[in-house]
């Protein structure tokens, strides 16, 4: 195998649109001299994203983390928020930056999303909202979560950073809950280099979010709230307009890779893979596997190390759990006994390389290697 794989292969790599096409946008930016503050491309991108995603209102942000922080601000979420420990740290950090106490509830064992059956027991008089994550772009149980929120009068903000373009029965997954937050970071399926967005369902909320991301300015001399600066600039927006032309092709290429992984790995003992859900349009943002040491023969960490030696850089998304980091470890809900499923998945999960430019023969090589390692045990 060593001779075959020379170039390092990373878990992801952004797809670059044709440079000539980007310079056309740059020329227009140079001519207009408008670099930011709701410029032409910013406005165009909001419109095009609403169309593409099938949502009513979207506000662009400089990154997903500031969008999460602002989403919580815009609904005046306070007190305690129930969330998942199985996510990227920014999910919980957004609560911390708002002075909100995170309350971790366990995930379900099928798709590793927040388990709706664990939410009610975590509700206290201080609870004001639920912050679930559509992990790997697989939709949460949105109906069950909505029912709980309605019963207890809670807001729902979805961290949809993995879920760009995901639809359930032809309806954008972003149309559920009160707000959905997207990230357009370079490592995501759709990117504006750095960037993010909040999807909301009415014009008044959209206006409030737009005030909040621009220092609270409602007019030249009117400041209506203590806002922050989280605006997307024109270069990011132009890059986003260009990426939008290609994103369906990117997702198709990801799907081809997922198909090979699934076909090749389906009979490997001790490797669990996730399958597509009927009625869902997936985006194939990640390809996670679970490695069961007892059946596969070696641990996830040993496999990670062996692949790294072969120049294949997988990632342990998400390990450690957010609840294991020093800022959150002291919370009673962070106790391992409260999060058994999340603990198990965090010990076993490994995300394999998946990105549009990944050559299919590399995918086959990675699969052969995974089989060889198993058979050698
Ligand atoms: C990427 C990501 C974020 C943060 O987004 P940035 O644009 O990098 O700030 C938050 N939550 C999840 C689940 C993510 O994957």
**pLDDT digits 0-9 by tens, 332-341:** 999 999 999 9
pTM for the whole thing?
0.97
Residue 54, both tokens: 């099938």
> For 304-333, what is each residue's pLDDT tens digit?
999 999 999 999 999 999 999 999 999 999
Decide: 180 in ligand 1 pocket, CB within 6 A. Answer: no
Q: Does one domain contain both 222 and 359?
A: no
DSSP H or E run through 110: none
Ligand 1 atom 10, closest CA: 90
pLDDT attached to residue 374: 85
Decide: 231 in ligand 1 pocket, CB within 6 A. Answer: no
Q: Does one domain contain both 216 and 291?
A: no
pLDDT attached to residue 6: 64
Residues 331, 348, 269, CA angle at the centre, nearest 5°?
155
Q: Does one domain contain both 161 and 42?
A: yes
Q: Does one domain contain both 132 and 261?
A: no
Q: How far apart are CA 63 and CA 286, in angstroms?
A: 20
Q: How far away, in angstroms, is 16 Cα from ligand 1 center?
A: 20
DSSP assignment of 54-87, as one string? T-SEEEEES-HHHHHHHHHHHTT--SEEEE-SSS
Q: Return the CATH number at 348.
A: 3.90.1150.10
Q: Are strands 127-131 and 155-159 parallel, antiparallel or unpaired?
A: parallel
Q: Does one domain contain both 284 and 368?
A: yes
Q: Does a structural domain hold residue 1?
A: no
**Cβ neighbours of residue 198 closer than 8 Å, sequence gap 6 or more:** 58, 59, 61, 67, 70, 71, 74, 179, 180, 181, 182, 209
> For 31-83, what is each residue's pLDDT tens digit?
999 999 999 999 999 999 999 999 999 999 999 999 999 999 999 999 999 99
Q: Return the CATH number at 164.
A: 3.40.640.10
Q: How far away, in angstroms, is 71 Cα from ligand 1 center?
A: 14
pLDDT attached to residue 376: 79
Mean pLDDT of the chain: 96
Q: Does one domain contain both 229 and 286?
A: no
Instruction: Report which of 157, 162, 197, 247 is spatially closest to residue 55, judged by C-alpha positions.
Output: 197
Ligand 1 pocket mutation, candidates 12, 62, 65, criterion most atoms within 8 A of CB = 65
pLDDT attached to residue 68: 98
Sheet containing 179-183: which strands, arranged edge to edge? Answer: 57-61, 196-200, 179-183, 155-159, 127-131, 80-83, 101-104
Q: How far away, in angstroms, is 234 Cα from ligand 1 center?
A: 21
Does pLDDT of 270 surpass 70?
Answer: yes
For residues 232-260, average pLDDT: 98
> For 357-376, what is each residue's pLDDT tens digit?
999 999 999 999 999 998 87
Does pLDDT of 272 surpass 80?
Answer: yes
Q: Of 181, 209, 243, which residue is a domain's last?
A: 243
pLDDT attached to residue 150: 98
For residues 107-132, average pLDDT: 98
Decide: 115 in ligand 1 pocket, CB within 6 A. Answer: no
Decide: 234 in ligand 1 pocket, CB within 6 A. Answer: no
For residues 156-169, average pLDDT: 98
Tell me the torsion sign for CA atoms 51, 57, 62, 64.
negative
pLDDT attached to residue 167: 98
Region class of 79: left (phi > 0), else alpha (psi between -120 and 50), else beta: left
Instruction: Report which of 302, 283, 299, 279 is spatially closest to residue 291, judged by C-alpha positions.
Output: 299
Q: Around Cβ 104, how many Cβ atoms within 10 Å? A: 26
Q: Does one domain contain both 169 and 268?
A: no
DSSP assignment of 321-357, as one string? -GGGSHHHHTSGGG-GGG-HHHHHHHHHEEEEP--TT
What is the domain range of residue 91? Answer: 19-105+113-243
Decide: 137 in ligand 1 pocket, CB within 6 A. Answer: no
| Contact criterion met (CB below 8 Å) for 117 and 124 | no
Does pLDDT of 1 surpass 80?
Answer: no
Q: Which residues pair with 185 in a beta bridge?
A: none
DSSP H or E run through 49: helix 40-53
Ligand 1 atom at minimal distance to the Cα of residue 184? 7
> For 172-197, what is each residue's pLDDT tens digit?
999 999 999 999 999 999 999 999 99
| Contact criterion met (CB below 8 Å) for 323 and 103 | no
Does pLDDT of 30 surpass 90?
Answer: yes
Q: Does one domain contain both 30 and 167?
A: yes
Q: Of 219, 243, 267, which residue is a domain's last?
A: 243
Q: Does a structural domain hold residue 165?
A: yes
Kindly indicate the confidence band of residue 7, based on its pLDDT and cuts at 50, 70 and 90: confident
Domain count, the chain: 2
Q: Of 205, 220, 243, which residue is a domain's last?
A: 243
pLDDT attached to residue 264: 97
Q: How far away, in angstroms, is 325 Cα from ligand 1 center?
A: 17
């Amino acid at each position: 195998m060593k001779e075959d794989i020379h170039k390092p292969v990373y878990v992801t790599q952004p797809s670059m649109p044709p440079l000539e096409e980007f310079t056309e946008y740059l020329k227009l930016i140079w001519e207009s001299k408008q670099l930011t503050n709701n410029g032409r491309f910013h406005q165009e991108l909001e419109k095009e994203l609403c169309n593409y995603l099938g949502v009513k209102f979207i506000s662009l942000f400089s990154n997903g983390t500031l969008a999460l922080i602002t989403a919580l601000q815009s609904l005046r979420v306070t007190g305690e928020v129930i969330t998942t420990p199985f996510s990227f740290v920014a999910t919980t950090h957004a609560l911390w930056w708002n002075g909100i106490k995170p309350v971790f509830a366990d995930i379900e064992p099928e798709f590793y999303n927040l388990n709706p059956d664990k939410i009610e027991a975590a509700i206290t008089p201080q609870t004001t909202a639920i912050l679930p994550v559509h992990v790997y772009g697989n939709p949460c149980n949105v109906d069950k979560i909505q029912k709980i929120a309605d019963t207890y009068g809670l807001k729902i903000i979805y961290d949809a950073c993995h879920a760009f373009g995901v639809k359930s029965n032809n309806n954008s997954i972003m149309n559920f809950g009160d707000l959905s937050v997207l990230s357009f970071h370079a490592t995501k399926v759709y990117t504006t280099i750095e960037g993010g967005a909040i999807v909301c369902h009415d014009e008044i909320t959209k206006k409030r979010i737009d005030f909040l991301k621009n220092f609270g300015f409602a007019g030249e001399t009117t400041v209506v709230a203590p806002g922050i600066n989280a605006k997307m600039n024109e270069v990011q927006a132009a890059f986003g307009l260009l990426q939008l032309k290609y994103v369906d092709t990117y997702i198709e290429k990801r799907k081809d890779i997922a198909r090979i992984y699934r076909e090749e790995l389906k009979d490997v003992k001790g490797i669990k893979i996730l399958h597509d859900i009927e009625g869902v349009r997936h985006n194939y943002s990640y390809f996670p596997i679970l490695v069961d040491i007892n059946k596969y023969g070696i641990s996830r960490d040993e496999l990670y190390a062996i692949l790294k030696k072969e120049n294949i850089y997988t990632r342990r998304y998400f390990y450690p759990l957010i609840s294991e980091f020093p800022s959150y470890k002291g919370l009673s809900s962070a106790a391992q006994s409260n999060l058994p499923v999340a603990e198990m998945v965090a010990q076993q999960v490994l995300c394999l390389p998946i990105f549009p430019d990944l050559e299919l023969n590399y995918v086959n090589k990675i699969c052969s290697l995974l089989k060889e390692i198993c058979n050698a045990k």
